[in-house]
Amino acid sequence: MVTESLREALGRLADTPALWVTGLYLGALFVIDLALQVGGSTVLGARVGFLGLCAVPFFLGGSSGVIRGEEKGVRGFIAAGRKYYFRILLAGGVIIAAAFLTVLLVSIPVSIIGVPFTEAMTLSIAGVTVPFVLFTFFFDTAVVFEDRKTLDSIRRSVEFVARNPGKVIGFFLVSLGISLAVLFPFFILWFVTIADRIEPIVEANQTLVFQNMTATQFVTLIGDSGVWTGLAIGFFAIMTWITLITAFKACFFRRVSAGSPAAPAPQGEFDEKGRWYRY
């Protein structure tokens, strides 16, 4: 099921250029945001990044809508993005808020008992968000492929993962392999282009260097050409990675959900006092 979904995704990327719009957008957002950060406009970069991420649900809805069959062109992409935007945005907001609240609730007793917030402790607390990512990862595809409402899409994603644990684990493992196969070569390419500039770091005690070197010093070391080369390579890396993962996710959800439909809603009625009776 996982390999068939990956083959379908690759085929759709080859014959449906509109699917690349999401990757192009996020690649461009990455370049613009990082360029502003490197240029010293940290506040502006943060604002651009936040507003740019708020538009991501439009592109997720558009990509899944095209794979669902709502026209292959950009017109169908835009129509699907507009149709599903607010449901995906609201569901994503609910998930982020729930994850943040959970981290906060875990942090409060830790701070009360006086445990220092070391890097290991911070990572441990942040690790509680992992279940949110794993179980709600398919909420946007539930919105598009099954026309789910905001909260119901989250419930459906949790149900989808719980009912297909082996297939979902396979999906995440393959996605991890794709991420490494796509991003690592781009990183090596950038490293090769700036190798002569970072040679002093390679030859020195790297632990001490990276502990004392700031981001501004590193940018100064690699120079403007190194920065812009990295941004260009990063653009193509993000574009390729996001496009492939988005299409793979949509194809996987559609295939698995077709073979494992959602549980039917319980049937019943309310009496005159508002009590629910299940048939």
| pLDDT tens-place string over residues 215-241 | 666 667 777 777 788 888 889 999 999
CA atoms within 13 A on the CB side of 146: 27
267 lies in some domain: no
Q: Range of 13's domain?
A: 2-262
Contact between 29 and 256 (Cβ < 8 Å): no
CA-to-CA separations, 146 to 83, 220, 263, in angstroms, rounded:
13, 50, 13
What is the pTM (predicted TM-score) of this model?
0.81
> Chain-wide mean pLDDT for the chain?
81
Paired tokens of 169: 């684990």
Tokens describing residue 247? 């299409």
The pLDDT assigned to 116 comes to 65
Residue 89 lies in a domain: yes
Number of domains making up the chain: 1
Q: Is 230 part of a structural domain of the chain? A: yes
First to last CA, the chain: 36
Instruction: Render pLDDT for 112-138 as a digit per residue (tens, 0 to 9).
Output: 776 666 666 666 666 777 888 889 999
CA dihedral over 177, 140, 73, 27, signed as positive or negative: negative
Tell which wins on pLDDT, 268 or 25: 25
Q: Scanning the structure block, which residue is given the tokens 């740019």?
A: 52
The pLDDT value given to residue 105? 80
276 is a domain residue: no
CB contact at 8 A, 6 and 53:
no
